[in-house]
Amino acid sequence: MNRKGIFITATDTAVGKTITTLVLGALLQDRGVEIGVMKPVQCAGNDARFLKRSLSLSDPIEEINPYFAPEPLSPHLAFARQKKTVSIKKIKTIYNKLAANHDLMLVEGAGGLMAPIADRYFVGDLIRELDLEVVIVARLGLGTINHTLLTVRQAREFGLKVVGIIFNEGEKRKKGLPERTNPDAVRMYGNVKILGTIPYLKDLKLSTIRKTVTEMINIRLLMPPVAAEGDRSKQLSDWDKKYLWHPFTQMRDWLKEEPLIIDRGEGSSLIDIRGKRYLDGVSSLWVNVHGHRHKLIDDAIKGQVGRLSHSTLLGLSNTPA
């Protein structure tokens, strides 16, 4: 599928997700991308209304922010205290509606990846269900290497693709050695791209953002890659025919057709590279009964693999280079 959305998460709360969403929205609009914004759950504050107003979005606030709780608490507690149940199905329905009307969606999270939305359901689970790529916002100063690498590792454990890291300066202060070296350290140790740094912005007008930040963020990496996705599909098709043997299929017949390329599994379904779903009727009884990506099973397998040598499951090296 073409990229339809990017999820903006962070290493912690109050790191600068809303400012980052605003900056990315402004830079993408400058390049002719018709963006939409969503804040699925919000606990206190006016982030969603601020983004709607600042980016001149026409979508109703009830769709941009379907769930709001007035207290600045973790979502699972904030909504429980309001006696509200967050419906993931409703969030997905609204997201799909918004995504159909925009070139690209920017979805802002609440807290970090492990912020609980409901019982045993975290922000990272929502990102995976929405099938979004991730931009991680991090602080620039001392301590950010640990927090950022942990967030990158957790994202990969959820099976998410991390597009890159954006550092947010947050406040005006002198840049010491940590601020000058942390981005390179995160890039090297996390094997992740650095998209840039947002400097302290006293004025949040779009004209100021464009003037100040345009050269500091690699917005090209966030553009909807329509052509690139088509190239990916063709490349995978070519590799399939060149390198793979399908023992239960006549190869000469297989080579005449475009191969079915499965991208991921979800429940009892398989999903191909174009987003089309198929009922998985050929997997093991285990998969048919429990479904693909069953959280408890996945967690148990990851925990066991983490005890084995030569494990690269989490995407970060366990030993020095």
For 266, residues 6+ apart whose C-beta sits below 8 A from its C-beta are 291, 292, 293
What sign has the CA pseudo-torsion 211, 216, 218, 223? Answer: negative
- Residue 28 one-letter amino acid: L
Name the β-bridge partners of 203: none
pLDDT tens-place values along the chain, 321 residues long: 446 899 999 999 999 999 999 999 999 999 999 999 999 999 999 999 999 999 999 999 999 999 999 999 999 999 999 999 999 999 999 999 999 999 999 999 999 999 999 988 999 999 999 999 999 999 999 999 999 999 999 999 998 999 999 999 988 778 899 999 999 999 999 999 999 999 999 899 999 999 999 999 999 999 886 544 456 677 778 888 788 777 767 777 777 777 888 877 877 888 887 778 888 877 666 676 778 877 788 878 877 777 776 555 444 544 443
Compute how many other C-beta atoms are within 10 angstroms of the C-beta atom of residue 87.
13
Q: Which residues contact 224 (CB under 8 A, 6 or more apart)?
A: 2, 3, 4, 33, 103, 104
pTM attached to this predicted model: 0.81
Check 39, 193, 202, 276 and give the catalytic one: 39
Is position 39 annotated as part of the catalytic site? yes
